[in-house]
Amino acid sequence: MEYVIGVDIGTTSVKTVLYDEDGNVKGYSNNLYPLYQDTADMAEEDPEEIFSAMIEGLNHVLEKADLEHGSLKGVSYSCAMHSVICLDENYKPLTRAITWADNRAVKYADELKENGIGMELYKKTGVPTHPMTPLTKIMWLRNEKPDIYKKTRYFVGIKEYINYKLFGELKEDYSIANATGLFNIFTMDWDDQALEVAGVTRDQLPKLVDTTYQFKGMVDHCANMIGINKETPFVIGASDGPLANLGVDAIQPGVVAVTIGTSGAVRVVTDKPTIDSKGRVFCYYLSENMWVVGGPVNNGGIVFRWVRDQLCLPEKVTAEQMHLDAYDLLTQIAAAVPAGSDGLIFLPFLGGERAPIWDADARGTFFGLTRKHTRANMIRAALEGIVYNLYTVMLALEEVVGEPKKIQATGGFARSKLWRQMLADIFEQDVNIPESFEGTALGAATLGMYSLGMISSLYDVSKFVGVTNTHKPNPKNYEAYRELIPIYIRLSRYLKPEYKNIATYQRKHANDVSQDTKKD
């Protein structure tokens, strides 16, 4: 039996999954690290902590599996997009990893939108203008951290830094490069205009390679720490969004992947670069003749966590006392409320928003509150609001690639029967839940198998995904949602002029709040 490891480098953890040649899980490790949010809009990680977490994960899985010599054919990566690390001339970090969730470049994203350059670049890069992008992050560094910017020899992401430490090579795959906002999806190279706008040169960026590229000849001390043969191939892999589609077998035309984890996304695969005239959706490379078009949202399961921790502390305490999962208890409470939450609508923009509005200043709103509404209504409205937002992404996507033929849904939300049904009702489509374990890691492993010659096509992933459970839309529920969704869409548009005003106020007084908290 032959084996491959899929490594998923995420926002708060590295997930390491050992698969056999038939796609069966034979080992698993989830190694956590903190997200640093010391100031307003900041979201950083320590690259050394991520590197250590990956080493520990690989070591744990390999040690526990005790594989026969030579049976591990390779390791393949998935990685979160949009991170930036500044390296000096000796490849030492000058910064932590500035993640996709960091919004400090909002001023520069706004400038690009206002002067029209943002849309010009989108048409070449497939990346909507937003402070998540390394393009705008480097603009922010150049203008607000000039000492660091001037010392920086290389601008890289977390995967590039890890691979440099392991193999001494500074390479970047097309998929991760695509998400920087600096990569031209039609020339498959760094874009001259984007480089000029950011203020970087080609020699400050890694060499570009395809997603099937293999590293070999690991540095001795790293191989010893992991407990791996130094000549074991490491496939560079791709970014997490495209690989999530692959891992749930959503790579056929018209098959849409809907993901709700901490954040969320709606994505579909096309055979060529595809952009939106309104700039609402991204286009990211996966593999030859496979491009993933879709929209990511900031506000997925993290909103449900906020509901649990801030609105429903009594229920959380009750769940702990009864040894129940708090989320299960909250969904039970929400299930007692009719679809539409008795006319209560929640705009879930607790962390700004990406698709489809691409507004880092967007803020959350409960709309329609009356004395009749209870915490149960608010719980359900929050869950519905998350799905409403994903549905608006789907509407934008339909304009670009057509109506979906099939929906494959995955992520932490899939554990909730209520939430799965809600997705089917709001989308008015059958929703299929694949049973594949850690879909993004499976996508990485499948791409690795393809690179290593273990499978002949990425479409072979269908053999690994397994059976699916299907939820059909409930007519009684979707009739309620048909009335409420247009109100939700109009609200998000009407409030847009005030998002910037309230966000400016919040940033202005953030330090005041921090000082008051310290005094208490």
Domains belonging to the chain, first-starting first, are 2-242 (3.30.420.40), 248-298+407-471 (3.30.420.40), 301-392+475-510 (3.30.420.40)
Task: Return d(Cα 59, Cα 225) in angstroms, integer.
Answer: 7
Looking at residue 270, what is its pLDDT? 97
Looking at residue 346, what is its pLDDT? 98
Looking at residue 511, what is its pLDDT? 65
- pLDDT in 10s for each residue of the chain, 520 residues: 999 999 999 988 999 999 999 999 999 999 999 999 998 899 999 999 999 999 999 999 999 999 999 999 999 999 999 999 999 999 999 999 999 999 999 999 999 999 999 999 999 999 999 999 999 999 999 999 999 999 999 999 999 999 999 999 999 999 999 999 999 999 999 999 999 999 999 999 999 999 999 999 999 999 999 999 999 999 999 999 999 999 999 999 999 999 998 899 999 999 999 999 999 999 999 999 999 999 999 999 999 999 999 999 999 999 999 999 999 999 999 999 999 999 999 999 999 999 999 999 999 999 999 999 999 999 999 999 999 999 999 999 999 999 999 999 988 888 889 999 999 999 999 999 987 778 899 999 999 999 999 999 999 999 999 777 899 999 999 999 999 999 999 999 999 999 999 999 999 988 664 444 344 4
Dig out the tokens for 198 from the structure: 């950011």
3-state class (DSSP) for residue 128: coil
Is it true that the peptide bond before 314 is cis, omega within 30 degrees of 0? Answer: no
Contacts 24+ apart (CB under 8 A), 216-225: 216/167, 217/167, 218/166, 218/167, 219/165, 219/166, 219/167, 219/168, 222/55, 222/165, 222/166, 225/55, 225/59
Could you tell me which residues come within 8 angstroms of residue 55 by beta carbon, excluding any fewer than 6 positions away?
Answer: 222, 225, 226
Q: Given CA atoms 112, 285, 300, 137 in this order, what sign does their dihedral have?
A: negative
Looking at residue 517, what is its pLDDT? 38
Looking at residue 237, what is its pLDDT? 98
Q: Model's pTM, two decimal places?
A: 0.92
Looking at residue 437, what is its pLDDT? 74
**Exposed, middle or buried: residue 419 (CB in 10 Å: 0-12, 13-18, 19+)?**
buried
Angle at alpha carbon of residue 84, lines to 79 and 87, rounded to 5°: 115
Looking at residue 410, what is its pLDDT? 85
3-state class (DSSP) for residue 201: coil
Dig out the tokens for 328 from the structure: 């299960």
